Amino acid sequence: MAKDLLQKKKTKDIKIYCDITKCVGCKSCELACAVEHSQTKNIFTALREKTLPKKRVRAENVSSKIISLHCQHCEDAPCIKACMSGALSKDEKTGATLHDKDKCVGCWMCVMVCPFGAIVRDVENHIAVKCDLCPDREDFACVAACPTGALFVGTKEEFEKKIKQKKKG
């Protein structure tokens, strides 16, 4: 499974999707994301770090449904166009929208223009924070932590096919 995900991570148009019929709002995805982006990568010690780790995914209640919000790595990403410092860019190989925290000036323009609300402010460090597709892992921390299997990695077509199959039976 991990090798399949690693191969998918190197492919364009791969995103993390949420099956809202399976998400129970447990926020395991949020916790796993924060721990993955901590200095120690350990749940117990991460909570004692000087700067608390920031999650890059959110489980939100939208129209009475719980969904996991991730950066959708838009093909024509409005956040990249709005970024005045050049901190956001597109990885031509994978299609991922990349964020360089060292270039980020904390103007929050990307936060304001993101149509999914997937970019958030890190007020403490005065930078924007978004999903980076766990570059140090073979898999995705949020997907691996989801106890109900609500999170799915694949193309839009694969996700739609999965949902259609689910509806059929």
Residues 6 or more apart whose CB falls under 8 angstroms from that of 106 comprise 121, 126, 127, 128
Q: What is the CATH number of the domain that holds 56?
A: 3.30.70
Nearest CA to 32 among 147, 154, 162, 164?
147
Q: Based on the domain organization, do 36 and 100 belong to the same domain?
A: no
Percent of the chain with pLDDT over 90: 49
- pLDDT tens digits for range 24-68: 989 999 999 999 999 999 999 988 888 888 888 888 877 777 777
Q: Based on the domain organization, do 120 and 140 belong to the same domain?
A: no
Distance CA 131, CA 73 (A): 9
Nearest CA to 143 among 20, 24, 57, 48?
57
For 112, the token pair is: 């304001």
Q: List the beta bridge partners of residue 59.
A: 68
pLDDT of res. 159: 85
Q: Based on the domain organization, do 115 and 144 belong to the same domain?
A: no
Domain count, the chain: 2
Q: Based on the domain organization, do 6 and 80 belong to the same domain?
A: no
pLDDT of res. 162: 82
Q: What is the mean pLDDT of residues 111-138?
A: 92
> Domain span at residue 142?
1-70+134-160
Q: Which residue has the tokens 């024509």?
A: 76
Domain assignment present for 63: yes
Does the pLDDT of residue 146 top 50, yes or no? yes
Percent of the chain with pLDDT over 70: 92
Q: Based on the domain organization, do 88 and 5 belong to the same domain?
A: no
- Per the confidence metrics, is the pTM higher than 0.75? yes
pLDDT of res. 164: 83
Q: Based on the domain organization, do 126 and 143 belong to the same domain?
A: no
- pLDDT tens digits for range 150-163: 998 888 888 888 88
- The three-state secondary structure class of 5 is helix
Q: What is the mean pLDDT of residues 101-121?
A: 95
Q: What is the mean pLDDT of residues 123-148?
A: 93
The helix (run of H) or strand (run of E) holding residue 162 is helix 156-168
Q: Based on the domain organization, do 28 and 44 belong to the same domain?
A: yes
Nearest CA to 129 among 54, 37, 43, 22?
54
Q: Which residue has the tokens 């403490």?
A: 124
pLDDT of res. 1: 47
For 140, the token pair is: 């995705």
pLDDT of res. 7: 55
- pLDDT tens digits for range 81-109: 999 999 999 998 888 899 999 999 999 99
Contact 122, 51 (CB under 8 A): no
For 145, the token pair is: 């932590």
